[in-house]
Amino acid sequence: MATTVVGSYPHSLKSLSSPLYLLKFNPSFSSGFVSFPSTRNQPRKSLVVRSVAAPVEAASGFDEMVSGTQRKYYMLGGKGGVGKTSCAASLAVKFANNGHPTLVVSTDPAHSLSDSFAQDLTGGTLIPVEGPYSPLFALEINPEKAREEFRSAGQKSGGTGIKDFMDGMGLGVLADQLGELKLGELLDTPPPGLDEAIAISKVMQFLESQEYNMFTRIVFDTAPTGHTLRLLSLPDFLDASIGKILKLRQKIASATSAIKSVFGQEDSHREDAADKLERLRERMIKVRELFRDTSSTEFVIVTIPTVMAISESSRLCASLKKESVPVKRLIVNQVIPPSASDCKFCAMKRKDQMRSLNMIQSDPELSSLMVIQAPLVDVEIRGVPALQFLGDIVWK
């Protein structure tokens, strides 16, 4: 059961998107509000916050999440429309305010990070977020831009455009293989799974590029369940596919080596291609190991208290466990708190939500997870001040 918590804390902000940022809660939910100072350099003020929050036993274990300077990855995912972006953005703000240089990445083709932070984060490049105490950057992976580059690459002279584009993603060797098979025309159309391939290439950059060395926390705002499961399974798929290609090439090479040796022909190009494939395979193994590393990676499931959402969360949890992806937290968002008012709709809705919440306790996949309840509020959570407020409720 949720309980009413009354407390106060000092608060100041580096940047505000409006002269006065006001979060007001419906009296039927709580009896107070939180407001934020209207200028950058005003002295800290003690603000009284009255809101509905999860009980102590449902704390998220944020102390564990924030401890240590080793880089950690947090992936938030679940059914569409449950509040994944707000939870991911609030976690990123919380990390940054606790001293961690943080990067929040959206892998969802339909991005919402810009809306959540009330700041233009489009363009597919690192953009600093205004407001948090420590560096916080956001990145919206732009699959549509990549698709357009993919199409235009096919129109370049000599047929080298697509290869150049895929080289930039670290996947150029796959274009080599298709080119040798005379299937280059298929590359005029972006292949299925390109969104996930681009996201995987970004994860490779996080592991290898100096540009991302400063970040000690990386938070992923993932796409709805189906896209995310494809993303997590892609390293295994590519590893297996590359392995089959290498075995096939080896068989063909051994069958033709005798003939080539008679004519004194060398096959250094094929050896180079095989080496590139092997290196790509090693990178895929690194990404796969990252997704499964319990010391540095965690998947947080976000849901809402409805039968459909919790059922899908149960299936997602089972799939994550099958892929050996660490998962131990479940956020139940939009929980209606108890009310003393005579709102019959609120009472019926809460009763229905309680039935759904009870499902979690008996679900074989979800019952072992740490359950975090996030209350339903009557305003949109937009901008760093609001995200910080949400983070203080959810991430304890």
pTM as predicted: 0.72
Question: From the CB of residue 385, how many other CB atoms can be counted at a distance below 10 Å?
Answer: 25
CATH number at residue 87: 3.40.50.300
Rounded to whole angstroms, the Cα distance separating 347 from 336 reads: 9
Rounded to whole angstroms, the Cα distance separating 354 from 1 reads: 9
Token digits of residue 310: 């919790």
Rounded to whole angstroms, the Cα distance separating 127 from 138 reads: 5
In a domain, 116, yes or no: yes
In a domain, 338, yes or no: yes
Rounded to whole angstroms, the Cα distance separating 181 from 299 reads: 39
Residue pair 211/205 in contact (Cβ under 8 Å)? The answer is: yes
Q: Which of 391, 353, 393, 377 is nearest to 1 (CA)?
A: 353
Q: Which of 63, 108, 115, 342 is catalytic?
A: 108
Q: Which of 244, 367, 242, 239 is nearest to 292 (CA)?
A: 239
In a domain, 379, yes or no: yes
Rounded to whole angstroms, the Cα distance separating 205 from 149 reads: 19
Query: Which 3 state secondary structure label does DSSP give 106?
Result: strand
Residue pair 58/371 in contact (Cβ under 8 Å)? The answer is: yes
Which pLDDT value is given to residue 362?
95
In a domain, 96, yes or no: yes
In a domain, 17, yes or no: no
Range of the domain at 339: 62-253+289-394
Q: Which of 73, 115, 143, 187 is nearest to 382 (CA)?
A: 115
In a domain, 262, yes or no: no
Which pLDDT value is given to residue 199?
74
Residue pair 276/173 in contact (Cβ under 8 Å)? The answer is: yes
Token digits of residue 124: 């597919």
In a domain, 24, yes or no: no
Q: Where are the alpha helices (DSSP H) in the chain?
A: 62-66, 84-97, 113-117, 143-153, 161-168, 172-180, 194-208, 225-263, 268-292, 307-322, 344-362, 384-394
Question: From the CB of residue 369, how many other CB atoms can be counted at a distance below 10 Å?
Answer: 18
Which pLDDT value is given to residue 178?
47
In a domain, 186, yes or no: yes
List beta partners, residue 34: 23
Which pLDDT value is given to residue 334?
95
- Does 108 qualify as catalytic in the annotation? yes
Secondary structure (H, E, C), 346-374: HHHHHHHHHHHHHHHHHCCCCCCCEEEEE
Rounded to whole angstroms, the Cα distance separating 141 from 231 reads: 13
pLDDT tens, residue by residue, 134-159: 899 999 887 666 566 555 554 554 44
The total of structural domains in the chain comes to: 1
Low-confidence ranges of the chain (pLDDT < 50): 1-57, 154, 157-159, 161-162, 165, 169, 178-187
